[in-house]
Structure 1
């Protein structure tokens, strides 16, 4: 009994320490990548939730709950969650893609990019990278929300500036729309 109490106390201390390290590491990485504060909080909470699930599993094992009982419980939970998410598979894949984008996406908010897509030209400036999609403002000032899971599957070209993006565009905006984007007044 005393061994179990000691192990549980040790696990709690380790949980608190690792949670703080995890949160500060994610915050530092997010600031290094110039990620939005809301995005950093989302990723931190998501990973903290997974870490908490592992912690609860370890506590159950220390308390002597058998593998068979845990297997039945977790298989039941995963079956219910699996059935619930089967209809919403794209939501789950976008959330997973969101975590991948946070840690390894080579583009940031403010970059000029072109998503290579046969059906449509998605060329513009990244305004926001959110939980489910990347928001891109096109040269024509239209705003496109592109799903995270799709942007990981497509080739993405990054441009140094607006002029380089404009040179590669199939769409050539009129002088008036260029002036509006740059903040100048059109000439009469």
Structure 2
């Protein structure tokens, strides 16, 4: 009994320490990559949720809950979640892609990029990288919402500035309304 209490106290201390370390690491990485605070909070909560599930599993094992009972419980939970997400597989893939983009996407908000897509030219400046999509403002002023899962599957070209992006465009930029009135 005393061994179980000691192990649970050790697990709680380890959980608190690791959870704080994980959160500070994600915040530090977010500041280093100039990521929006909302995304940093989202990624921190997602990883903390997974870490909490592992903690609960370990506490159950220390308390003597059998492997068979845990297997039945987790398989039931995964079955329900799996059926719910199967209908919405694109949501799950975009959330997963969002986590991948947070840790390893080489482009940031403000970068000029071109998503190589045979159907349409998606060339512009990244305005926001959110949980489900990347928002790109085209040279023409149109705003494109591009799903995270697709942007990981396509080649993306990064430009140093707007002029380089314009040189690679197959379309010309529409003049602003102020430019049109000045020309008159």
Question: Which TM-score band applies after superposition, normalised by the shorter structure?
Answer: over 0.9
Name the count of aligned residue pairs. Answer: 184
* 4+ residue runs over 4 A deviation: none
Task: Go from structure 1 to structure 2 and tell me whether the alpha carbon gap of 1:179 and 1:111 turns closer, same or farther (over 3 Å shift).
Answer: farther
What are the superposed Cα offsets for residues 57-80 of structure 1, whole Å, 9 maximum, x if unpaired?
000000000111100000000000
> What are the within-5 Å matches in structure 2 for residues 44-59 of structure 1?
44-59=44-59
Q: Secondary structure at the match of 2:182?
A: coil
Shift of 1:173: 1.5
Shift of 1:123: 0.3
CA RMSD of aligned residues (A): 1.4
Ranges in structure 2 where 5+ consecutive residues have no aligned partner: none
Ranges in structure 1 where 5+ consecutive residues have no aligned partner: none
Counterpart position of 1:90:
90
Counterpart position of 1:158:
158
What are the superposed Cα offsets for residues 148-181 of structure 1, whole Å, 9 maximum, x if unpaired?
000000000000000000000011114x23966x
Query: Taking structure 1 as the reference length, what is the TM-score of the superposition?
Result: 0.95
Counterpart position of 1:187:
183
1:140/1:177 contact within 8 Å kept: no
Query: Taking structure 2 as the reference length, what is the TM-score of the superposition?
Result: 0.97
> What are the within-5 Å matches in structure 2 for residues 87-126 of structure 1?
87-126=87-126
